[in-house]
Copies of this chain bind each other. A is one copy, B any other.
């Protein structure tokens, strides 16, 4: 199976499904702001996971469409608000909502997307007690995402020694993996899966999501600037406490001059490309990038193990392929 091709094919179908839920509305300006990110596409991995798992577990891909679209809309709501908070001016090659309109409109558009997502979930053609569970897990997921975003911001202002690798892993679980986990749990539930299958699918998605985020951190240091669409090493300039940085700081002797050099560049927004290059070299030298690669590969392998609870099918093969894409992609 050509996973990339299959992801693209499935993403196109989801594009139309998501946009069908973002029609109408009395306020034209608000609707434009609401549709601005969703219409610009994206990998659609979260809704894809919900749909494919519902299919793999119980031939219920169609029933999963409202829930799947709701999660993509929630993902977009978090992006709109994140861009306001981080003051990021571009997203998917287009101006951010708060730049194209203004900050208040971006806040409202995010809130409106969030509200619409819950309305959509209640349209799912599944038993009402399943709808309740979908609402409950989704609401709790958004709460955790909020905690993760808060942690991520707070970490940047904390002394680097006071953030542990466990803190980092807990943060990326909330910021990234939990929404994948929610997609998998909901998809398996809609598919009528057993509690055992639901748990396995959650584990699959959480492990995949953790690997996805660690890989993201690696890409941001080693990727190609053109493919990434942002400067390599921005995470270092922004002082992000990634697994790579935290590993390096704990691996190096406190007296090591390289450690002082790394700390000097970390969070220095005006660091030159040369300083960034040297910092990345230090991370290479102390094995921290290799360590992150190993960690991501380990998550990927454990994610794959969970798929054994599913009967062999084209969907199961695809879910396996998605892991290879998530941990190993260039974009």
List residues of chain A with CB under 8 Å of any chain B CB.
Answer: 25-27, 29-30, 81, 84-86, 103-105, 107-112, 114-119, 121-122, 127-129, 131-133, 135-136, 138-143, 146-147, 149-151, 153-154, 170
Contact = CB atoms under 8 A, between A and B. Distances in A.
13 contacts: A25-B143, A25-B147, A27-B150, A30-B150, A81-B108, A111-B111, A112-B143, A112-B146, A114-B114, A115-B143, A119-B136, A128-B128, A128-B129
Contact of A122 (B136, B153, B154): B136
Nearest to A109: B146
Nearest to A147: B27
B108 A149 contact: yes
A131 B129 CA distance: 9
B119 A151 contact: no
Contacts of A114: 111, 114-115, 142
Nearest to A129: B128
B85 A107 contact: yes
Contact of A142 (B111, B131, B153): B111
A150 B131 CA distance: 30
Nearest to A122: B136
A143 to B, nearest CB: 4
Per CB-CB distance, the 8 closest pairs between chain A and chain B, nearest first, are: A115-B142, A85-B104, A128-B128, A118-B139, A119-B139, A112-B146, A122-B136, A115-B143
Could you say which of A26, A30, A115 has the most chain B C-beta atoms within 10 Å of its C-beta?
A: A115
Contacts of A140: 115, 119
A303 to B, nearest CB: 24
B115 A29 contact: no
B139 A132 contact: no
A30 B147 contact: yes
A115 B27 contact: no
Contacts of A116: 139, 143
Contact of A85 (B103, B122, B138, B150): B103
Contacts of A121: 135
Contacts of A141: 115
A35 B139 CA distance: 18
Given A29-B154, A111-B142, A112-B142, 14 more contacts: A27-B150, A30-B147, A85-B107, A86-B104, A108-B150, A112-B143, A112-B147, A115-B139, A119-B139, A122-B133, A127-B128, A128-B128, A131-B132, A132-B135
